[in-house]
Amino acid sequence: MKINLSNYEIEVLLDLSSSITGIEAKSPQIKNYVIKNVLERMTETQHFDFKNYLNLIDKSDEEFKNFLSAVTIHTTGWFREDKHFTLLAQEIKNQYEKNNLRFVNILSVPCSTGQEVYSLAFVLKSLCNELLGLNFAINGFDIDYHSIKKCQNAVYSKTELANIPLEYRKYILNGRDEAKNFFAISREIREHCTFYNVDIRNINSYKDIIKIKNSEIENDSFNIILCRNLFIYFKPEVSNKISKNLYSLLKNNGYLCLGHSEKIEAQKHNLIHIGNSIYQKLLQDNLNISKNDDDIILYTLVDQNRIKPFIERVKKELKTFKIIESISNLKEFLENRKPKIIIIDKEYKTIELIHFLFNYLKTNKNVFIIESILYPLQKEIKNIDIFHESQIFKDFIDWRNFENQTSQTILYLKRILSSNESINPENNNKENKVIKHKEIKKKLENLLPNFIAIGASTGGTIALAELLKNMPPNFPPILIVQHLPHIFSKDFIEKIKKVSGLKFISPSERPLLKPGYIYMADGDNHIIVKGKEGQLRIEPDMSPPKNQLRPCIDFLFESLAKTKAKGVGILLTGMGNDGAHGLLKLIQNGSVTFTQNKESCVIYGMPKEAEALGASCFSGDLHEIRELLLNHIKVK
């Protein structure tokens, strides 16, 4: 029997469906989907009158569940948007190494029929096999009772098997005989996965249900929340409510993953968009960005249409971003405003610009000036004034691949804006410093160093120039890793050569380390040291980037520790934790180690991580470290 619904009945049906699931039937496809599925339920139950069917779902819990399932969208699949899994696995690995992360708690909402949960479980189980002591739990939420039941049963049609990569099929069990057309998920995967019937719009409904580690759920319970392709079905006010709920369940520094076509108001929810529809929750203190009208300015003469996607994205995420296209406009702007970041396009440097910026910094010491490449260079650009440029630029960034790196660029700029930069060292505990000076002097006087190894990142180019100016010609060999796009490395090497007065030999020649020389990566590679005391040899290493870094400080420091030769390790200003673990290995091997102190760092990240590990013999400003090196190191 064919059932026809009146326009009024259709309106009632869609309103009822929306009130129960939150899904807005704003498109003809969703509207037709809901009507078709409900008509099928009416036929199945032989309730051909719409009013009678409404009475049925009101009185029968079982039919209400069937109705709810009929009006719920069930779009899912194995390894859908698989780039998320790769990125999250890498982040877990980073946190494992950096912050001793050993348990990862994950929420998948809506989990639908379980394919997303089990896909992620496959990835994490393989990661656990690689990272000793790592464990995880995945919680799946969905409003549909039938979907949750399918998740718990963990049995799927073999037609879906083609979407599961071969490396993960060791975690599935193939059916036999009457079940030959199905496969099941193995117990070693299922034991990590739990599913709950939950309405994500009601935070109390899942706070009352979920228990983690035998205690009621806390506001920061999940390291990762996947909520993909949900918001596209909801009204903005409902989406905002769900976003708020999810934020309250996310750990500090945790990640919220949305579908590729979804966006939320990140700043409203204290999140930072780091790319690929992934948002990170940072502590409020880390988001305390200054309120200047123009915190960031970019000086470039490039045709803005050539970098339009970059500009649009940056302006959307950073409201305080402004482009200036002439020196006269730059001078006028800086007379009236005090931006925190100035970005200079390498292609349009002039001697007038360099001298102006050098003089500007004399009275505006806290501005962070970056040299960058925004577009493929039309010609080779050489330094105009090495001495002044070495005093001006605190970092060098290659942004030519901005379509793939825009998110990282924005996160980098936000971190600089939120940093408490100070270039004036403070001495709040002079008595304690005197004691530490005596201790470190004694260590240095008992050491005949085979090397001075230095690692630096954000702000390091100026720090290194200050630390190494006018070095003695017989000073122990100095090995440097500065996080720097390799296109800038040769220019930077020339700066350090001129400032320090030392010679340079490329690691590509695999030379023995000699006093009076500096050694740095001059290509897209790591640098490592091999050999033994008295016969140390440096060479390039083409291993993949570690935590997206090449050269990597840890690579150098750890290679030096393996040689058993003793020397000096120094970790300067920079974001992240590169070098911290390597510095620890150096101190464990008998080397003397230094970290730049908080007051003098541009970004107090890497030194802080090293100090937390107990990897620093002495923390001081650049002047203190330099004085100790020059006056208390024995030379051969």
pLDDT digits (tens, 9 = 90+) for 249-272: 888 888 889 887 777 766 666 677
Does residue 427 have a pLDDT over 50?
no
The CA distance from 159 to 378, in Å, is 53
Question: DSSP character for 473?
Answer: T
pLDDT confidence of residue 416 = 74
Which phi and psi (to 5°) does residue 290 adopt?
-65, 160
Q: What confidence tens digit (pLDDT) does each residue in 477-526 have?
A: 999 999 987 878 888 898 899 899 999 999 999 999 999 999 999 888 99
Higher pLDDT residue, 115 or 486? 115
* 578 a catalytic residue: yes
pLDDT confidence of residue 293 = 45
Q: Which of 457, 591, 600, 619 is catalytic?
A: 457
pLDDT confidence of residue 506 = 94
Q: What confidence tens digit (pLDDT) does each residue in 599-617 have?
A: 888 788 899 999 989 999 9
Between the alpha carbon of residue 623 and those of residues 222, 388, 421, 600, the distances in Å are 44, 20, 17, 10
Q: What confidence tens digit (pLDDT) does each residue in 25-51 have?
A: 767 888 888 888 889 888 988 888 888
Q: Which of 192, 273, 483, 526 is catalytic?
A: 483
pLDDT confidence of residue 598 = 87
CATH number at 430-632: 3.40.50.180
pLDDT band at 404 (very low <50, low <70, confident <90, very high): low
pLDDT band at 439 (very low <50, low <70, confident <90, very high): confident
Does residue 376 have a pLDDT over 80?
no
Higher pLDDT residue, 329 or 476? 476
- Among 1.10.3470, 1.20.1070, 1.10.155, 3.30.2000, name the CATH number for the domain at 7-71: 1.10.155
- Pinpoint the residues of the chain covered by CATH 3.40.50.180: 430-632
Task: Judge whether 370 and 339 are in contact, CB under 8 Å.
Answer: no
- Among 3.40.50.300, 1.10.3480.10, 3.40.50.2300, 3.30.70.260, name the CATH number for the domain at 296-418: 3.40.50.2300
Q: Count how many Cα atoms sit within 13 Å of the Cα of residue 259 in the half-sphere of its side chain.
A: 15
* 355 a catalytic residue: no
Does residue 450 have a pLDDT over 80?
yes
pLDDT confidence of residue 377 = 57
Task: Judge whether 262 and 242 are in contact, CB under 8 Å.
Answer: no
Q: Taking all residues of the chain, what is their mean pLDDT, rounded to a whole number? A: 83
The CA distance from 238 to 374, in Å, is 40
The CA distance from 194 to 185, in Å, is 13
Does residue 188 have a pLDDT over 60?
yes
* 489 a catalytic residue: no
pLDDT band at 378 (very low <50, low <70, confident <90, very high): low
pLDDT band at 385 (very low <50, low <70, confident <90, very high): low
Question: What would be the CATH architecture of the domain defined by 82-281?
Answer: 3-Layer(aba) Sandwich (3.40)
* Neighbour-count burial of 201, counting CB atoms closer than 10 A to its CB (0-12 exposed, 13-18 middle, 19+ buried): middle
Per-residue three-class SS string for 16-52? HHHHHHCCCCCCHHHHHHHHHHHHHHHHHHCCCCHHH
The pTM of the whole model exceeds 0.75: no
Q: What confidence tens digit (pLDDT) does each residue in 275-293 have?
A: 677 888 865 444 444 444 4
- Pinpoint the residues of the chain covered by CATH 1.10.155: 7-71
Q: Residue 519: how many CB atoms within 10 A of its CB?
A: 26
Q: What confidence tens digit (pLDDT) does each residue in 350-360 have?
A: 889 999 999 99
pLDDT confidence of residue 275 = 65
- Pinpoint the residues of the chain covered by CATH 3.40.50.2300: 296-418
- Pinpoint the residues of the chain covered by CATH 3.40.50.150: 82-281
**Geometric angle at alpha carbon 26, from 22 and 28, rounded to 5°:** 125
pLDDT confidence of residue 596 = 95
Q: Which of 142, 491, 554, 578 is catalytic?
A: 578
Q: Can you list the positions of beta strands (E) in 560-600?
A: 568-571, 592-596
Determine the 3-state secondary structure of 630 from DSSP: helix
Q: Residue 438 has which token pair?
A: 């005596």
